[in-house]
Amino acid sequence: MAAKKPGADLLPDREPLRFIDADGRPVKPGKSGGAAMPAPERLLDAHRALVVGRRFDRQATSLVKQGRLAVYPSAHGQEASEVGAILGLRDTDWIFPTYRDSVALVTRGIDPVEVLTLLRGDWHCGYDPVAHRTAPQCTPLATQAPHAVGVGHAARLKGEDTVVLAFLGDGATSEGDFHEAMNFAAVFKSPVIFFVQNNKYAISVPLARQTAAPSLAHKAVGYGMPGVSVDGNDVAAVMAAVTRAADRARKGKGPTLIEAHTYRIEAHTNADDATRYRADDEVAEWRRRDPVDRLTAYLREAGLLDDARAAAVAEEAERVAADLRDRIDDQRPPAPAELFAHVYAEPTAQLREQAALIAEEV
């Protein structure tokens, strides 16, 4: 038998891991490599989280239009990736999210009002990061990746079995911080999952202009960690891939890069006009692969979801949205002067000057 090329076992499969197809039909995963279809109760948890997450996302988008939120980067279309990543972990594991990942935070059980505090213009992330094992949502691309590796490395040194998952976008994989974090984690076998939501765009830059790699999952092999490709609109596949990577990390076998293939249905944020750089047919094609409809169809067909349960979940989602509308304005208004308060112990001359300018303007 010919010897395999070195690193061949680290390469992603040809087809992304998938358990449920776009029409909600079960598919036999190709080489699932130990990734197992989640149990029915887990899928029902995922369904609830998807429906609540979708409703939260729509509500947040409305709040921006009403002028009650400064900005909102929508996760519409990416809910299966965000929900699957959270449900594939333990509550004691850490996550390092980006601005895109509000649905992941809601799935973690963080109060939706606190999730949106930052997006009202407050310097504080709103929630207690330690209590929720959730770092503040990060806007500078990939800067959270080395932090995630640091927390993972520390956990390993302390003999804990905590796993750390860093959320990243496709565009963020071009950043130097991504490279440094990947390299350090692989060399030191840090218990980290690099979870890349490939939503095909970095604002207006399409994936083809972002990288010449065969796929983002292929980048893993250059660092010496496995690259896993997963259908990011199939929540079952995402949960399974994350759980498998977490088990591997907990056993001391090091990091995994997961590329979740998904799509951002809305514009980058409310400040972006996506019709300027992508075609309506493309968006329509991805709407057909909707992650919420897909799991719903599967559960209905499998006899796991009846009308009563579906109605109860929909009601819960409405309650979450109504509660968010009621309470979002109760927070203290953001205080612009505080922007400068926690930068340096001794503010620089430049910062003092800027603070004075703001104070004058306010």
Ligand X SMILES: Cc1ncc(C[n+]2csc(CCOP(=O)(O)OP(=O)(O)O)c2C)c(N)n1
Q: Point out the residues that are catalytic.
A: 264, 268, 277
* Contact status: 201 vs ligand X (CB under 6 A): yes
Interface of this chain with ligand X, residues 94 to 153, rule: CB under 6 A: 100, 139-141
Q: 259 contacts which partner out of Mg ion, ligand X, none, CB within 5 to 8 A by kind? A: none
Interface of this chain with Mg ion, residues 202 to 231, rule: CB under 5 A: 202
Shortest Å, Cβ 62 to ligand X: 20
Provide the 3-class DSSP secondary structure of residue 134.
strand
Q: 102 contacts which partner out of Mg ion, ligand X, none, CB within 5 to 8 A by kind? A: none
Q: Rounded to an integer, what distance in angstroms lies between the CA atom of residue 49 and that of residue 115? A: 15
Q: 172 contacts which partner out of ligand X, Mg ion, none, CB within 5 to 8 A by kind? A: ligand X
Which of 241, 186, 175 is closest to 211 using CA atoms?
A: 175
Q: 139 contacts which partner out of Mg ion, ligand X, none, CB within 5 to 8 A by kind? A: ligand X
* Contact status: 169 vs Mg ion (CB under 5 A): yes
Which of 196, 96, 197, 187 is closest to 148 using CA atoms?
A: 96
Task: Please state the separation of Cα 341 from the chain's center in Å.
Answer: 30
Shortest Å, Cβ 143 to Mg ion: 16
* C-alpha distances in Å from residue 285, one per residue of 79, 247, 262, 280, 294: 17, 34, 12, 9, 14
Q: Find the binder of ligand X among 203, 213, 304, 339 (CB under 6 A).
A: 203
CA angle, 161 as apex, 158 and 164 as ends, to 5°?
95
Stretch that binds Mg ion, among 45-53, 193-201, 231-239, 347-355 (CB under 5 A): 193-201
Shortest Å, Cβ 218 to ligand X: 17
Which of 162, 221, 171, 168 is closest to 192 using CA atoms?
A: 162
Instruction: Check the CA dihedral 64-68-72-78 and report its sign.
Output: negative
Please, are residues 79 and 50 in contact by the beta-carbon 8 Å criterion? yes
SS3 content of the chain, % helix, strand, coil (to 5): 50, 10, 40
Q: Rounded to an integer, what distance in angstroms lies between the CA atom of residue 291 and that of residue 167? A: 19
* Contact status: 324 vs ligand X (CB under 6 A): no
Strands (E), 199-280: 201-202, 205-206, 227-231, 256-261
* Contact status: 234 vs Mg ion (CB under 5 A): no
Please, are residues 11 and 20 in contact by the beta-carbon 8 Å criterion? no
Shortest Å, Cβ 203 to Mg ion: 8
* Contact status: 202 vs ligand X (CB under 6 A): yes
* Contact status: 209 vs ligand X (CB under 6 A): no
Stretch that binds Mg ion, among 45-53, 192-200, 230-238, 335-343 (CB under 5 A): 192-200
Name the residue nearer to ligand X (CB basis): 12 or 169: 169
Name the residue nearer to ligand X (CB basis): 148 or 172: 172
Cβ-closest position to Mg ion = 169
Read off the DSSP letter of residue 107: H
Q: 203 contacts which partner out of ligand X, Mg ion, none, CB within 5 to 8 A by kind? A: ligand X
* Contact status: 261 vs ligand X (CB under 6 A): no
Provide the 3-class DSSP secondary structure of residue 68.
coil
Q: Find the binder of Mg ion among 199, 215, 229, 243 (CB under 5 A).
A: 199
Interface of this chain with ligand X, residues 154 to 193, rule: CB under 6 A: 169-172
Binding site for ligand X (CB under 6 A): 100, 139-141, 169-172, 199, 201-203, 264, 268
Binding site for Mg ion (CB under 5 A): 169-170, 199, 202
